[in-house]
Amino acid sequence: MLTLDKIYHAAFTLKDAVRKTDLILAPALSAKNQIYLKTENLQMTGSFKVRGAYYKISRLSDEEKAKGIIACSAGNHAQGVAMAAKKNQIPSLICMPDGAPISKVEATKSFGAEVYLVSDTYDDAYNKAIELQKEKGYTFIHPFDDVDVIAGQGTIGLEILDQLDDVDAVVVPVGGGGLISGVAYAIKQLKPECKIYGVQAAGAPSMYESVKAHEKKTLETVDTFADGIAVKVPGNETYELVNKYVDEMITVTEDEIATAILTLMEKQKLVAEGAGAVSVAAVMFDKIPLKKKKIVCVVSGGNIDVNILNRVITRGLIMSGRRNTLTIALMDKPGQLVGVSTVISRCGGNVVAVHHDNGDPNMAINSCFLKVVMETRDSAQAELIKRQLEEEGFQLVNERV
């Protein structure tokens, strides 16, 4: 059973193995509440997962260690298991979905683990790991549905209360539920009035749907770039703990997650992966029903692939109104581009790309479409530019995309 004593024992076990991550004030993230960030993205291995993995492996018997260990992961649990196995001189095999970020796969290998790539999602990697465990006799290290793993993650709750004893609410990313189960249990035992909110990507809402339906639900598919929480079905232990100790489950969209990642980079100089940023997205987009409270957002990981990061930044710029694409119907004659760019420049925008199309069969022979990509401060400035263009007689064909 999960107990507070077990979480305190985990904290003692982990004191020299993991980092007690900083809790930092982030006033730029919300005008409604006082926001703090629990920076598990700065943890060893770049994620909270090392806490649960290390504590679980520390509890294995000599016989279990001798069998070698196997795990399944989209990347962060893999690194935690691999690092803990290396420190304990135990061979490890990690099953990972083949869509996992390359950076996570390579980082896992760098700790000495053998990686087995499995087609499709985390759940498929889980099924393969169970198959190999039965076939070879490995000791299986579950990424979330295990009391020792949950206890390890619960040490984050102890740290939050130690760092901010008057905290009013904690917002936690949720995939399979191991992190929020441990954090919620620890905090509710010591400070029951503190609210706990769980956040999932709208494209992978397995725990959200399960709590809403009052029974465990298995999703047919998941669709989110937040790979660390792309889980089709929550765990048995975690589902029960979330039902008992979590006050509310909410979801955020892909665009909201992307905006949160961009904001963390710009305002806090922190890099978060999609799964790690969902808590911040929830407070930024007013999903938490609180006002004038001290809220801690757990930024659970920072292991984002640089290729994905580039796309996320672009999406975040679009979502925040700072990157806009305008399509303008023009008479195809000299000086038109100068007229358009003059209006944009006068309003403070910056043109970064132009595409001239005079080959559309639906337009007049002497007409063209001018597609302009521009940088603006925000949506208000973009709207000002559109109004000014229309007042100058230019015809906008479609809005920002």
Catalogue the active-site residues.
49, 300
Structure tokens at 347: 């309003």
In angstroms, the CA 128 to CA 140 distance is: 12
For residue 371, with 0-12 CB atoms within 10 Å meaning exposed, 13-18 middle and 19 or more buried, which class applies? Answer: middle
In angstroms, the CA 180 to CA 139 distance is: 25
According to DSSP, the β-strands at 395-398 and 323-331 are antiparallel
Q: Is the dihedral of CA 388, 389, 394, 397 positive or negative?
A: negative
- Note the residue count of the chain: 401
Structure tokens at 10: 């985990």
CB 276 within 8 A of CB 301: yes
Helices 4-14 and 178-190, interaxial angle, to 10°?
110
Q: Which of 167, 215, 212, 163 is nearest to 188 (CA)?
A: 167
CB 12 within 8 A of CB 158: no
Structure tokens at 276: 């790690």
CB 126 within 8 A of CB 72: yes
In angstroms, the CA 252 to CA 205 distance is: 10
CA distances from 276 to 46, 195, 360 (A): 10, 19, 44
Q: What are the backbone angles phi and psi of residue 250, rounded to the nearest 5°?
A: -135, 170
97 Rama class: left (phi>0) / alpha (psi -120 to 50) / beta: beta
